[in-house]
Chains A and B, each alone.
Chain A
């Protein structure tokens, strides 16, 4: 619900207007009275969630919002999208035959038994696993921990999500210089963007430190 707010000057001249807003709020807080949403009371949003019942049901609110959107009218989302940053593309890999390639996946491929207990949804961490000498992922040795897709096919053959078998062939043939001996995995299902970003920063640091030239990230 957009509120009409008279712009308050951001200097001493605006003090009167600012105090007019702050004083009633301060009195409420002082008296222990309930305080409304930041948009209503004029304070800076502090991210505290309060449950309440809307007057209109969700389906009606959604249709109202869509009609406004279709008519090109302004509307206010009830759930802002996360802010996804952009990075400049890396330069192309120059010498693939001597490049070290690493595999990372959000498809939740883990050693059989999921030894580090990566969650099937809302992953709280990622796994780092050594594939020295591993040329093929099998039903007996690997599985998926991901709870957001039918796991049957990945459990039968995890190469379907983490293509170690073909990359090993390419390494042997000299198409690539080397397949990095570690792979990184987490479960993308319902994982918070902030968590994913933090995992990526750490994984990226490790890959750089290990002299990896390029990464293939697989997602379902």
Chain B
């Protein structure tokens, strides 16, 4: 599956399971947060990715919050 900031690009190139990321320079992070908060955020995104991988889809699907 694809964790990607600009999800329309992911759609255009044909990814079937897509999870939106935070920002281009830090898709799975946020430097404004404290280290432990940032890691919790990263874990949340990866958990969403695992949810996408374990969900049946019949076409391109974006797994938003």
A interface with B by C-beta (< 8 Å): 84-94, 96, 101, 107, 149-154, 156-157, 159-161, 163, 165-167, 169-170, 175-176, 214-220
Partner of A153, one of B2, B13, B29: B29
Q: Are B50 and A96 neighbours in the complex by a CB distance under 8 Å? A: yes
B interface with A by C-beta (< 8 Å): 1-5, 9-10, 12-17, 21, 24-29, 31, 38-39, 42-43, 45-46, 49-50, 53-61
Q: Report chain B residues within 8 Å CB of A94.
A: 54
Complex Cα–Cα for A25 and B44 (A): 64
Q: Are B55 and A161 neighbours in the complex by a CB distance under 8 Å? A: no
Which residue of chain A has its CB nearest to the CB of B10?
A219
Q: Report chain B residues within 8 Å CB of A175.
A: 50
Complex Cα–Cα for A157 and B36 (A): 13
Q: Are A84 and B14 neighbours in the complex by a CB distance under 8 Å? A: yes
Q: Are B54 and A220 neighbours in the complex by a CB distance under 8 Å? A: no
Q: Are A166 and B46 neighbours in the complex by a CB distance under 8 Å? A: yes
Q: Are B58 and A154 neighbours in the complex by a CB distance under 8 Å? A: no
If A89-B58, A159-B42, A215-B1 touch, does A154 touch B17 (CB 8 Å cutoff)? no
A170 CB to nearest chain B CB (Å): 7
Partner of A159, one of B12, B28, B53: B28
Complex Cα–Cα for A192 and B59 (A): 26
Q: Report chain A residues within 8 Å CB of B24.
A: 149, 220
If A150-B25, A154-B25, A219-B4 touch, does A163 touch B46 (CB 8 Å cutoff)? yes
Partner of B14, one of A87, A93, A169: A87
Partner of B27, one of A93, A160, A165: A160
Complex Cα–Cα for A214 and B4 (A): 17
Complex Cα–Cα for A97 and B45 (A): 18
